[in-house]
Chain A
Amino acid sequence: MKERKTAESENKAVRVYGGEKLPKDFERCLKELGFAPQDFIYIIPVDLNEDCEFTTGFVCLGKEKLVSCVAAVMPNEIRYFKGSANINAVSAEAIRDWKTEEFEVDRVNEIKIERTVGGGVLAALTDEGKEDAVVAVFSNRKMGAAIKLEKLYKELKEKGEIPTEQLEEEKSDEYCPKCGTMYPDKERKICPRCMNQKSIFIRVMGYLKPHWKKIVIEFMCYLTTALLNLVWPYLSGTVLYDKVLGKDDAFLGSVGLNAGDYMTALLLIVATMVVTKITIQVVGIIQGVLTATISPVLVRDMKNDVFKAMGRLSISFYNSRQTGSLMTRVLSDADEVMGFFTDGLPYFIINIFTITATAIIMFKMNVTLAIMALVFMPITFFISWCMLPRLWHRFGRRHRARRTLNSRINDNLMGARVVKAFGQEDNEVGRFEKANNRYRDAEMALVAYDNKFYQLYHAAENLAGLLVWLIGAYLILIKKEFSLGLLITFTGYVNQLNGPMDFFSHFIRWFTNCMNAAERMFEIIDAVPEVAECEDPVRIEKLNGDVELRNVTFGYEEHKPVLKNVSFKIKGGEMLGIVGRSGAGKTTIVNLISRLYDPNEGTVLIDGVDVKNLSFDTLRGNVAMVSQESYIFIGSVADNIRYARKDATNEEIIRAAVLASAHDFICKMPDGYDTIIGSTGRMLSGGEKQRISIARAILANPKILILDEATASVDTETETAIQQSINMLIKGRTTISIAHRLSTLRDADRLVVIDDGKVTEEGTHSELLAQKGTYYKLRELQTKALALRD
Chain B
Amino acid sequence: MENKNVNKNGENEEFDLAQMEEETAQMLRLRYLNRDNAVFERTKGGFVSLKIGDEFYPRVGVYASFPFADPEKYISIREATEKAKEIGIIMDLNADVDAETKKMLKEQMAVRYFTPVIKKINSIKDEYGFAYWDVETSNGRCKFTIRMNSSSVVYLTDTRLLITDLDENRFEIPDFTKLTAKELKKLDLFL
Residues on A facing B (Cβ under 8 Å): 48, 50-54, 73, 75-84, 114, 116-119, 121, 123-124, 128-134, 137, 139-141, 143, 181-182, 184, 192-193, 321-322, 325, 393, 396-397, 403, 407, 519, 523, 756, 772, 776-777, 780-781, 784
29 A–B pairs (Cβ distance < 8 Å), ordered by A: A50-B111, A52-B111, A53-B139, A73-B140, A76-B140, A79-B140, A79-B141, A80-B143, A81-B144, A82-B166, A83-B145, A116-B111, A116-B114, A117-B113, A118-B169, A118-B170, A124-B45, A128-B2, A129-B3, A132-B45, A132-B47, A133-B43, A133-B45, A133-B46, A134-B45, A140-B168, A192-B129, A397-B188, A403-B150
| C-alpha gap A311/B67 in the complex (Å) | 41
Cβ–Cβ contact B114 & A52, under 8 A: yes
Chain B residue nearest to A191 in the complex (CB): B128
Cβ–Cβ contact B144 & A83, under 8 A: yes
Name the interface size band of chain B.
35 or more
Would you list the 9 A-B pairs with minimal beta carbon distance, nearest first?
A83-B145, A133-B45, A192-B128, A81-B144, A129-B58, A134-B46, A84-B143, A140-B167, A116-B112
Q: What chain B residues lie within 8 Å of A129 (beta carbons)?
A: 1, 3, 58-59, 80
Cβ–Cβ contact B144 & A82, under 8 A: yes
Cβ–Cβ contact A139 & B1, under 8 A: no
Chain A residue nearest to B16 in the complex (CB): A780
Chain A residue nearest to B139 in the complex (CB): A54
Cβ–Cβ contact B169 & A139, under 8 A: yes
| C-alpha gap A397/B132 in the complex (Å) | 18
Chain A residue nearest to B43 in the complex (CB): A132
Known contacts A52-B111, A121-B111, A133-B46; A140/B129 CB under 8 A:
no
Q: What chain B residues lie within 8 Å of A756 (beta carbons)?
A: 82-83
B144 CB, nearest partner CB in chain A, Å = 4
Cβ–Cβ contact A130 & B20, under 8 A: no
Q: What chain A residues lie within 8 Å of B3 (beta carbons)?
A: 128-129
A67 CB, nearest partner CB in chain B, Å = 16
The verdict on B191 contacting chain A, using a C-beta distance below 8 Å, is yes
Within 8 A of A (CB), among B148-170: 149-150, 165-170
Starting from the known contacts A116-B113, A132-B59, 16 additional A-B residue pairs (CB-CB under 8 Å) come to: A53-B139, A53-B140, A82-B145, A83-B165, A114-B61, A116-B112, A123-B45, A124-B45, A128-B2, A129-B3, A132-B45, A132-B47, A134-B47, A393-B185, A403-B150, A772-B15
Q: What chain B residues lie within 8 Å of A192 (beta carbons)?
A: 127-129
| C-alpha gap A332/B34 in the complex (Å) | 59
The verdict on B101 contacting chain A, using a C-beta distance below 8 Å, is no
Known contacts A54-B140, A193-B127; A118/B168 CB under 8 A:
yes
Known contacts A78-B143, A118-B169, A193-B128; A322/B115 CB under 8 A:
no
B143 CB, nearest partner CB in chain A, Å = 4
Known contacts A117-B115, A130-B43; A396/B169 CB under 8 A:
no
Cross-interface CB contact of B112 among A78, A84, A117, A772, cutoff 8 Å = A117
Q: What chain A residues lie within 8 Å of B132 (beta carbons)?
A: 83-84
Cβ–Cβ contact A50 & B46, under 8 A: yes
A87 CB, nearest partner CB in chain B, Å = 9
Cβ–Cβ contact A82 & B17, under 8 A: no
Cβ–Cβ contact B17 & A784, under 8 A: yes
Cross-interface CB contact of A81 among B43, B166, B185, B191, cutoff 8 Å = B166
| C-alpha gap A77/B139 in the complex (Å) | 10
Q: What chain B residues lie within 8 Å of A776 (beta carbons)?
A: 15
Within 8 A of A (CB), among B30-77: 43-47, 58-59, 61, 67
Cβ–Cβ contact B166 & A780, under 8 A: no
Known contacts A84-B143, A132-B43; A397/B191 CB under 8 A:
yes
Cβ–Cβ contact B130 & A184, under 8 A: yes
Cβ–Cβ contact A79 & B143, under 8 A: yes
B148 CB, nearest partner CB in chain A, Å = 11
Q: What chain B residues lie within 8 Å of A133 (beta carbons)?
A: 43-47
A405 CB, nearest partner CB in chain B, Å = 13
Q: What chain A residues lie within 8 Å of B150 (beta carbons)?
A: 322, 403, 407
Known contacts A777-B20, A780-B15; A79/B44 CB under 8 A:
no
| C-alpha gap A519/B116 in the complex (Å) | 34
Q: What chain B residues lie within 8 Å of A322 (beta carbons)?
A: 149-150
Q: What chain A residues lie within 8 Å of B61 (beta carbons)?
A: 114
The verdict on B142 contacting chain A, using a C-beta distance below 8 Å, is yes
| C-alpha gap A84/B146 in the complex (Å) | 10
| C-alpha gap A443/B146 in the complex (Å) | 27
Cβ–Cβ contact A83 & B114, under 8 A: no
B158 CB, nearest partner CB in chain A, Å = 9
| C-alpha gap A705/B170 in the complex (Å) | 43
Cβ–Cβ contact B167 & A139, under 8 A: yes
